[in-house]
Each structure stands twice: as structure tokens, then as C-alpha cells.
């Protein structure tokens, strides 16, 4: 496969084409990613979570960081390594594990005290006592072990290299706010 150039070369990018290419990149990443794709910041938090999950019994945590810091990618890696089953779309009323993995990572938690307590209650009622919640901000209540995920310029360079290695060239967004989402924006 040749490289697909997503830079505009001085022309206006068609938003529809950019979204289509973004989805293509995302699908290819999901198919081909591995531990080696993690950035240094993601490796640090992934290893801390993996160590924490090695404890017997109930293990609960909250992974948080700015939008575009790689939280979701870290959640995917936890599932790929068979540490937790990944649930992408936030809280549910009932949780059922679809694999032999004995815990979950739940992404897109837009939490408040009420929501957080209900998620914890619903997980307990579903007999799930090993979980990691993912959201933008750390909860005020210290009910869960916290795992902050930071993002550095080196992390962004690593992600761009990973994307280039699967055949995509991204626009130069060197002046953008630090966020992995901004890699795809112009």
C-alpha cells in the first residue's frame, strides 16, 4: 500500500474526506497495533495498571487525562493483553463479560458523584470487582486508585511515526495544542 497523504499542500481539506481517512487510520490502527506502539507516557501508566491488576481480589482504578492523551488506546491495549475487557461507550445498567477476562475497562466516563457511585454499584451487582474507568478528569472522591496519563511532544512524534508506518502521512500541526486528536486536524 502506498502512503496516503492527508496534508493539504496549500489547499483546503475536504472535512468529509478527512473524517473518512481518520476512520481508515483508526481501523488500521485497531488491526495492527501492539505494545510497541505505546508512547513512553502510555507505557508508564500501562505498566502501573498491569502491576496493580496483579493483586488478588478487588482491583479498581480510574485512568484520566486530557482529551487526546491516549487513554482509549491504553484501554485497547489492556484488552489486547487480556487484562481487562474493553467497553467503549460509558456506563450501562448491567455489565456482562463476553470473554474469559475477569474485569472491565469502561471508557468515556463523564462522571459526577452520582454517576460514579451508580457505576460502582452496577459493577458490584454484576459481580465485577476488577475494573478501570476512563475519563477526562480524576474524581473528587478517592474511591478508586488514580492513574493520570500525561502527553508529551515525544509522545506525539511516536504516534505520528506509528501512523506513518501503516501508510499514512499526516499534516504538520506543529503549532497545535498538545493533543493526539490534533494530529488529524489542520
Question: What does the domain layout of the chain look like in residue ranges?
Answer: 4-36+153-184, 40-148
According to CATH, the superfamily of the domain at 40-148 is P-loop containing nucleotide triphosphate hydrolases (3.40.50.300)
Tens-digit pLDDT profile for residues 51-90: 999 988 888 899 999 888 999 999 999 999 999 999 887 7
Burial class (CB in 10 A: 0-12, 13-18, 19+), 24: middle
Tens-digit pLDDT profile for residues 123-155: 888 888 899 999 988 877 777 899 999 999 899
pTM (whole model) above 0.85: no
Centroid of chain to Cα 118: 22
Amino acid at each position: 500500500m502506498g502512503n496516503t497523504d492527508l496534508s493539504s499542500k496549500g489547499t483546503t481539506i475536504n472535512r468529509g474526506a478527512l473524517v473518512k481517512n481518520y476512520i481508515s487510520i483508526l481501523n488500521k490502527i485497531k488491526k495492527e497495533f501492539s505494545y510497541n506502539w505505546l508512547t513512553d507516557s502510555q507505557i508508564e501508566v500501562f505498566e502501573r495498571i498491569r502491576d496493580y491488576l496483579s493483586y488478588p481480589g478487588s482491583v479498581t482504578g480510574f485512568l484520566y487525562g486530557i482529551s487526546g492523551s491516549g487513554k482509549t488506546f491504553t484501554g485497547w491495549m489492556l484488552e489486547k493483553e487480556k487484562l481487562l475487557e474493553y467497553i467503549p461507550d460509558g456506563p450501562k445498567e448491567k455489565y456482562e463479560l463476553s470473554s474469559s477476562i475477569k474485569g472491565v475497562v469502561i471508557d468515556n466516563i463523564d462522571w459526577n458523584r452520582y454517576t460514579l457511585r451508580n457505576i460502582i454499584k452496577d459493577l458490584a451487582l454484576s459481580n465485577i470487582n476488577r475494573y478501570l474507568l476512563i475519563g477526562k478528569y480524576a474524581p473528587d472522591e478517592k474511591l478508586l486508585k488514580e492513574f493520570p496519563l500525561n502527553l508529551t511532544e515525544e509522545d506525539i512524534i511516536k504516534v505520528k511515526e506509528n501512523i506513518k508506518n501503516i501508510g499514512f502521512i499526516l499534516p504538520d500541526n506543529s503549532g497545535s495544542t498538545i493533543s493526539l486528536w490534533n494530529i488529524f486536524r489542520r
